[in-house]
Amino acid sequence: MYLKKIELHGFKSFADKVNIEFQPGITGIVGPNGCGKSNISDAVRWVLGEQSVKSLRGSNMADVIFAGSQDRRAQNLAEVTLIFDNSDRMLNYDYNEVEITRRLYRQGNEAEYLLNRQQCRLKDITDLLLDTGLGRDSLSIISQGNISNFADSRPEERRAIFEEAAGVSKYKKRKIEAIRKLERTTDNLNRIKDIVYELEKQIAPLKKQKEKAEVFLTLKEKLTSIEVNVLVHEVSELKHQLDTLSLQLKDLNERHSSLDAEIFLKESADDEIKKKMFVLDNEINSLQSQLLESMSEVSRLETSKIEVDQKRKHALQSQNSDDIKKKLDNLKAILTDLIEEYNDRVERLKTTEKSLEDLSQEQTVLTSKINHKHQSINDLNQEITKNKNRQEILVDLVENKSNYHHGVKAIMELAHDNPDIIGVFGDLLENDSKYDLAVSVALGSALQFIVTKDNLQARLAIKFLKDNKAGRATFLPLADMEPRSLREEHAILCPALEGYLGVLSDFVSSSKNIDNVILNQLGNVILADDIDHAYEISKATYARYKVVTLDGNIVNVGGSLTGGTVNRQQSSILQKRELEKVKEKLDELEQKLVREKNELLKLENDAKELAHTLLQKQMSYAKLEVVVQGKKEELVVAKGEYESLSHQSVELDEFKSGKIDNQLVLQLNEAIKHRDELTEKIKSKRELRMSYVNENEQLESKLKDLRRMLKDIQGQINEKAILSTKYEGSLNNYLSRLSNEYSMTYEYASENYHDEVDIEFARGEVATLRNEIVALGHVNIDAIEEYKEVSSRYENMNSQRLDLIQAQDKIVQAIDEMDQIMIEKFSTTFEKINKEFNNVFRELFGGGRAQIKYTDPDNILETGIDIDVQPPGKAVSNITLFSGGEKALIAISCLFAILKVRPVPMCILDEVEAALDMANVERFAKFLREFSKQTQFIVVTHREGTMEECDLLYGATMQQKGVTKLVSVKLEEAIDFSNENRKGGI
């Protein structure tokens, strides 16, 4: 393994990117003082993890970044990369080339380490280089300061270089880690011992409390089993009785409503009849007055007519009359009167017949209307029944929440006594009906989420559901709800898009001050007019938001689409809206039913009046037929008398076609007609009034019966309501006991506690068990879990204590083993170095003796290393008394001795021979050449003797002030080139 290349950029004086290539052997870096050649060794030390700023000749780490010069700006980054040839796999890394990089940024002093261009930790690099002889504190980098310090340092400080040479650094590092681990283990063991001691003190009293609690729980469980069965039985009975009462009350209320409506209709009919009777009385009185006048007129005219007729008959009967013609005139006048009267009665008969036909037709039409009205009322009753059934279903869904999840219903039953449970989210919302579908599909299952005051109430509710196995529910803690909204750029963009109506939360409100929940659920949901515009809005906002349409279609987050018909049974908002519409429709239908019944009543009254009128007309028609027949007979007699007197046949039509000027007969006919009409009207109205009287009496009697029935039903309703309230109070009491004492819902209790029990015996057993529980006194229920927890913790801690003791023993054993390995390795290496040190010293100094020795032979692991040398011809007892050059040569001797025993793949020597004279420099250089076969040397120097032994030279210059440049020369090529030039005579 050897260093192939160093890449520097922005490190100290290397402002530009510089690549320094190396090869096996000796590479020299030369240059005048201050040209930056020592920055190369600093760069290597820095990459290998040097953290000491002082060692890098700076005041802070940012000083390694090029600070700028008169002509160059400062750099913001220092980067150095070492590229090693790893063909021999000395580095435990499966690559032929290994690159180690370190970077430092001026801003924030942020540093990075990279291994083959992949980020890593400094520890990874340190572990990779461990025991390779490379490292910031190893023999791989030796400066002039290290050489001088080696001789002057304390023996304990001098030990480190020998540890590195002995290869015990990794064991020492592991030992330090093991000691730290041992310290941590000991600390943990002490803490656990304290905890175990405390737990031992807690276990005994907790065990007693646990046993007492277990007795309590056994009694409590038995009490629970018996009393819950009793409560379930009582609740079941009460629910059954309440259901029966509810059905009875429903039936009574329906009968009450039906009677009330019937009484109202009959009272209205009664009032109408009384009004008609009053009107008829007035009409009859008026007609009677007219009839008296008409009868007087008829009487007067009949008297006059009788007088005329008597005069005529007298004239006809007189035997003294000689004037036959005069008799004929009288008979003709009588016949004319009879013809007029007969024609008048026939005409009246025809008129009456025509009236009968009209009345009959009118009766047919009226009957058809009545039948139609009956059908309409039947249809209305069916529709009302249908809507009432739908109303009952919707009331069950909305008010009783029958379609809600089991868990939601269970929690809402508790909400009556807990104001911190605000309500079901969907039930708290208010919005215009045209947004119902949009809100419903946007919220979906969130409509059944439960809004609570805070997170604590939600957690308590979840615990209740879990303990009672009452289902699941999702909660929205008001205090924790964070409002959501559109991003600012989208809030500006969306209003300009076609079809955008707004954010859905703007169309929803609530009277419960839950704005945060509304904004959390709907604050970032967009409302659009149709699916096409919704898709465009989603596309414009990169599908970040849910977009819903007025007709219930959705463009989801991410771009997926949802649409089709909506199941209204799943939306409380749509159910509430439908319930409102059903109630409104029921009101309209019931009002229409009242109107229809009133119209039917009027039609039936009209039909009765028409029937009376038709009957009177039929009677008048029958009377007129008799009168017409009588007049006809009188007319035949009068005609015979006339024909007998005149001895000629008489055609009545001739009389009829003739002009008759008999005012008296005409007046009498009109008067009789008027009298008969008045008589018929009065009779008809009296009969109609009598029918009204009979109907009124029947209505009054019926109303009396109905009011009595209504009073009875109201009394039953009151009795049932009082009984229902009593049962509900008892039921709530039992349910409260189930909830408060046993934390159970009735559903859970009835599902799990349904044994058949003798109620009276069970109640006695409950009293006995309660007395036994009271006799136990204070019971710490938590003691069972506490004992279990403490016992488990004690066992766990005790197990950990034993594990830690075992681990402690293993760590101590491992430390002992590592100590033995380090003693063995260090001693072996020390002896080898000591032997080689004497040889190298004698060779470099031309004689004398040298040795290294322990300052504390009994403590190999911590002993310092002392140096005892005696150059030829000198008797110096203390190394510190040697000259600087001698100290350097002694240190170099020790360095070469170590390299003989433990070769390193690469060594950087930074002016280590600076204090040597020319002869010693040459000896030093020869040793370099000797060791270069196994170690790559990079020598920073300005001594000629060292330069001569270099295979490759780099010259460091500063052509531009403050910026280091390098020029390379291969000496073998230079020598060859020089020899060729000499041969050529140049």
Q: Where are the alpha helices (DSSP H) in 494-548?
A: 515-522, 531-540
The residue-averaged pLDDT of 702-723 equals 86
d(CA 220, CA 946): 98
Q: Is 38 annotated as a binding residue?
A: yes
Q: Is 36 annotated as a binding residue?
A: yes
- pLDDT category, 971, cuts 50, 70, 90? low
- Return the pLDDT at 977: 46
- Return the pLDDT at 656: 43
The residue-averaged pLDDT of 840-847 equals 83
CA quadruple 69, 71, 75, 80: dihedral positive or negative?
Answer: negative
CA distance from start to end of the chain: 42
430: its two tokens: 């208010």
552 DSSP assignment: S
Q: Is the pLDDT of residue 355 over 50?
A: yes
CB neighbour list of residue 611: distance below 8 Å, 6 or more residues apart: 363
816: its two tokens: 């002992």
952: its two tokens: 């490759």
Provide the edge-to-edge strand list for the sheet that holds 546-549: 500-503, 525-528, 546-549, 554-555, 561-562
Q: Is 873 annotated as a binding residue?
A: no
For 265-299, how does the pLDDT look when each residue is reduced to its tens digit (9 = 90+)?
Answer: 777 777 877 887 888 788 888 878 887 877 877 77
pLDDT top residue among 751 and 308: 751
CA quadruple 836, 839, 843, 846: dihedral positive or negative?
Answer: positive
Half-sphere exposure at residue 327, Cβ-oriented, CA atoms within 13 angstroms: 19
- pLDDT category, 319, cuts 50, 70, 90? very low
Q: Please, are residues 3 and 22 in contact by the beta-carbon 8 Å criterion?
A: yes
For 443-460, how does the pLDDT look when each residue is reduced to its tens digit (9 = 90+)?
Answer: 888 888 999 989 888 888
Q: Where are the alpha helices (DSSP H) in 647-662?
A: 652-657
- Return the pLDDT at 531: 92
Chain centre distance of CA 532: 27
Q: Please, are residues 5 and 95 in contact by the beta-carbon 8 Å criterion?
A: no
CB neighbour list of residue 889: distance below 8 Å, 6 or more residues apart: 844, 845, 916, 920, 924
- Return the pLDDT at 320: 42
Which residues are bridge partners to 280 per DSSP?
none
Residue 89, phi-psi category: left (phi > 0), alpha (psi -120 to 50), beta (remainder): left
Q: Is the pLDDT of residue 46 over 80?
A: yes
CA distance readout (Å), 289 to 111, 295, 303, 675 = 130, 10, 21, 11
d(CA 291, CA 306): 22
726: its two tokens: 């009593």
Q: Which residue has the tokens 């803690």?
A: 477
Weakest mean pLDDT among 10-24, 285-299, 611-625: 611-625
11 DSSP assignment: B
Residue type, position 182, single letter: L
Q: Please, are residues 226 and 762 in contact by the beta-carbon 8 Å criterion?
A: yes
- Return the pLDDT at 643: 61
Q: Is 32 annotated as a binding residue?
A: yes
352: its two tokens: 């009456």
Q: Which residue has the tokens 């390779």?
A: 132
In this structure, the number of other CB atoms found within 10 A of the CB of residue 374 comes to 13
Q: Please, are residues 912 and 142 in contact by the beta-carbon 8 Å criterion?
A: yes
d(CA 304, CA 317): 20
Q: Please, are residues 873 and 867 in contact by the beta-carbon 8 Å criterion?
A: no
Weakest mean pLDDT among 356-365, 424-433, 538-547, 687-696: 687-696
- Return the pLDDT at 7: 93
DSSP assignment of 453-490 equals: SSHHHHHHHHHHHHHHT-----EEEGGGPPP----HHH
d(CA 939, CA 929): 12
Q: Please, are residues 422 and 451 in contact by the beta-carbon 8 Å criterion?
A: yes
- Return the pLDDT at 441: 87
- Return the pLDDT at 659: 39
Domains of the chain: 1-140+905-986 (3.40.50.300), 398-584 (1.20.1060.20)
pLDDT top residue among 50 and 337: 50
d(CA 337, CA 344): 10
CA distance readout (Å), 813 to 188, 238, 807, 809, 810 = 19, 78, 10, 6, 5
CB neighbour list of residue 733: distance below 8 Å, 6 or more residues apart: none
Q: Greatest CA separation found in the chain? A: 226
585: its two tokens: 């429709």
Q: Is the pLDDT of residue 890 over 90?
A: no
CA distance readout (Å), 772 to 207, 757, 766, 805, 877 = 21, 21, 10, 49, 98
Which SS3 state, helix, strand or coil, does residue 168 take?
coil
Nearest CA to 548 out of 449, 403, 431, 452 is that of 431
- pLDDT category, 99, cuts 50, 70, 90? very high
For 485-520, how does the pLDDT look when each residue is reduced to its tens digit (9 = 90+)?
Answer: 998 888 888 998 999 999 999 999 888 889 899 999
Q: Is the pLDDT of residue 102 over 90?
A: yes
d(CA 158, CA 160): 6
Which SS3 state, helix, strand or coil, does residue 574 take?
helix
Q: Please, are residues 742 and 749 in contact by the beta-carbon 8 Å criterion?
A: yes
- In the chain, the percentage of residues whose pLDDT exceeds 90 is 9
pLDDT top residue among 631 and 927: 927
Q: Is the pLDDT of residue 636 over 50?
A: yes
Q: Is 847 annotated as a binding residue?
A: no
The residue-averaged pLDDT of 132-151 equals 72
Q: What are phi and psi of 977, to 5 degrees?
A: -65, -40
- Return the pLDDT at 329: 64
CB neighbour list of residue 263: distance below 8 Å, 6 or more residues apart: 703, 706, 707, 710
Which SS3 state, helix, strand or coil, does residue 2 take?
strand
Residue 57, phi-psi category: left (phi > 0), alpha (psi -120 to 50), beta (remainder): left
- Return the pLDDT at 853: 87
In our burial notation (b when 16+ CB lie closer than 10 A, e otherwise), range 521-532 reads: bbbbbbbbeebe
Residue 418, judged by CB atoms within 10 A of its CB (0-12, 13-18, 19+), counts as middle
Cα Rg, the chain, nearest whole Å: 64
Nearest CA to 74 out of 2, 164, 117, 10 is that of 10
For 190-231, how does the pLDDT look when each residue is reduced to its tens digit (9 = 90+)?
Answer: 888 888 888 778 888 888 888 888 888 888 778 777 777 877
Q: Is the pLDDT of residue 653 over 60?
A: no
CA distance readout (Å), 825 to 588, 728, 828 = 109, 94, 5
For 517-562, how does the pLDDT look when each residue is reduced to its tens digit (9 = 90+)?
Answer: 999 999 999 999 999 999 999 999 988 999 999 988 999 988 888 8
Residue type, position 259, single letter: L
Half-sphere exposure at residue 664, Cβ-oriented, CA atoms within 13 angstroms: 16
pLDDT top residue among 757 and 591: 591
Mean pLDDT across the chain: 80
CA quadruple 298, 300, 301, 305: dihedral positive or negative?
Answer: positive
pLDDT top residue among 651 and 614: 614
Weakest mean pLDDT among 437-441, 574-578, 894-898, 953-957: 574-578
DSSP assignment of 841-869 equals: HHHHHTS-EEEEEES-TT-TTT--EEEEE
Q: Is the pLDDT of residue 661 over 50?
A: no
SS3 per residue for 591-644: HHHHHHHHHHHHHHHHHHHHHHHHHHHHHHHHHHHHHHHHHHHHHHHHHHHHHH
Q: Is the pLDDT of residue 620 over 80?
A: no
Half-sphere exposure at residue 100, Cβ-oriented, CA atoms within 13 angstroms: 26
- Return the pLDDT at 82: 92
- In the chain, the percentage of residues whose pLDDT exceeds 70 is 87
Q: Please, are residues 830 and 837 in contact by the beta-carbon 8 Å criterion?
A: no
For 363-398, how does the pLDDT look when each residue is reduced to its tens digit (9 = 90+)?
Answer: 888 888 888 888 888 888 888 878 877 777 777 676
Weakest mean pLDDT among 180-189, 464-473, 618-627: 618-627
Residue type, position 520, single letter: N
